[in-house]
Amino acid sequence: MKAEGYSIKDLEILSGVKAHTIRIWEKRYWLLIPGRTDTNIRYYSDDDLRRILNISLLVKNKFKISKVAQWNDSQIKTTVLDITSKSTAESDYIDRLILFMLNFDTIGFYKLVTEIIKEKGIEDAVAKVFFTFFERIGTYWLVGTIFPAQEHFVTNIIRQKLIAEIDKLGVESERESTILFYLPDGELHEMSLLFYSYLARKMGYNVIYLGQYVPFEDLTKISVHTRIDFVFTAFINSVPKDELEEYLANLKHVFPHQKVFITGWQLQIHSPQLPRLVIIVKDYREFRKFLD
């Protein structure tokens, strides 16, 4: 829990229940009893957050709030577990992942990630569930509802799963073409890069994976010493439009004849002018068509 507790706005963002509705539930059903700071500002505890998340999930599954309000915590938890054990909807998966994240529940989060991959396969699991989950996390982080340790906690578990899937593919390649995967200096968000490298390796390409924080001079050196047919990178951290366009121009100078695939939030924000043979990848199916 944050040191000062959760505000009602935090509860609204995390649960999807409007603050006005939460206040009505408090007054009418006594579902939550917020604490008060020395300056009389309302705040909510971890237990309050878990309760509202569980109640939100029940209401989304057509349970009447007037009925749920009469249940104790044990009955609420049992009903939530029963629902989630039967549900495979992406939105329910994401709600459960968020609950495990907030509780730092390693076993619950790991088991659910494993279940999602088994149910949907790694490609749909990442594209339809995990990427949407991380979009939600990004929003929560921006408004200060979660803190970095919570993001790192879940990122590392899903990252381990992706690496395990990549490892299953082995290193033998069916094609002669090589794709270089890397993140620019300062970029830390590796999940999409790992996923797209998995797709490339699965399609038989030779993959050179450099990962995070790659200095630009290293790209120049590798272009001299190694044959590279395609380049893939991502721009997620905030960057001014002119700096992004300058970076892409310099990158194309280093790899003048190769197709350069790019993805990330900054491309949606800025819609930069693209040099020749630089291609924005919008989703994994599009990337597979490019390489097929």
Residue 182 sits in the same domain as residue 159: no
Tell me the percentage of the chain whose pLDDT exceeds 90. Answer: 57
User: Model confidence over 229-248: pLDDT tens digits?
Assistant: 999 999 988 889 999 999 99
Q: Is the pLDDT of residue 142 over 60?
A: no
In a domain, 51, yes or no: no
Residue 140 — very low, low, confident or very high, per pLDDT cuts 50/70/90? Answer: confident
Residue 102 — very low, low, confident or very high, per pLDDT cuts 50/70/90? Answer: confident
C-alpha–C-alpha distance, residues 64 and 85, integer Å: 20
Please tell me the total count of domains within the chain. Answer: 2
Query: If we measure between CA atoms, which residue out of 34, 41, 39, 46 comes closest to residue 2?
Result: 46
Residue 65: predicted pLDDT? 93
Q: Could you list the residue range(s) of the whole structural domain that residue 113 is in?
A: 87-169
Q: Among 134, 169, 204, which residue terminates a domain? A: 169
Q: Among 150, 169, 188, which residue terminates a domain? A: 169
Residue 120 sits in the same domain as residue 222: no
User: Model confidence over 11-27: pLDDT tens digits?
Assistant: 888 888 899 999 999 99
Residue 83 — very low, low, confident or very high, per pLDDT cuts 50/70/90? Answer: confident
What is the CATH classification number for the domain harbouring 157? 1.10.1240
Mean pLDDT value of segment 124-132: 92
> With the CA atoms of 94, 100, 102 and 105 taken in that order, what torsion angle do they form, in degrees rounded to the nearest 10?
-160
In a domain, 278, yes or no: yes
Mean pLDDT value of segment 97-108: 90
Residue 161 sits in the same domain as residue 207: no
Residue 149 sits in the same domain as residue 204: no
Residue 95: predicted pLDDT? 84
C-alpha–C-alpha distance, residues 89 and 86, integer Å: 9
In a domain, 55, yes or no: no
Residue 87: predicted pLDDT? 58
In a domain, 133, yes or no: yes
Residue 122 sits in the same domain as residue 175: no
C-alpha–C-alpha distance, residues 100 and 225, integer Å: 46
Q: Is the pTM of this model over 0.85?
A: no
In a domain, 37, yes or no: no
In a domain, 227, yes or no: yes
In a domain, 209, yes or no: yes
Residue 229 sits in the same domain as residue 161: no
Residue 196 sits in the same domain as residue 236: yes
Residue 84: predicted pLDDT? 63
User: Which amino acid type is present at position 197?
Assistant: S
In a domain, 80, yes or no: no
DSSP 3-state of 237? coil
More confident residue, 156 or 188: 156
Residue 138: predicted pLDDT? 76
Residue 137: predicted pLDDT? 83
Query: If we measure between CA atoms, which residue out of 46, 56, 57 comes closest to residue 22?
Result: 56
Q: Among 125, 154, 169, which residue terminates a domain? A: 169
What is the CATH classification number for the domain harbouring 224? 3.40.50.280
User: Model confidence over 157-204: pLDDT tens digits?
Assistant: 999 999 999 999 988 888 899 999 999 998 988 999 999 999 999 999
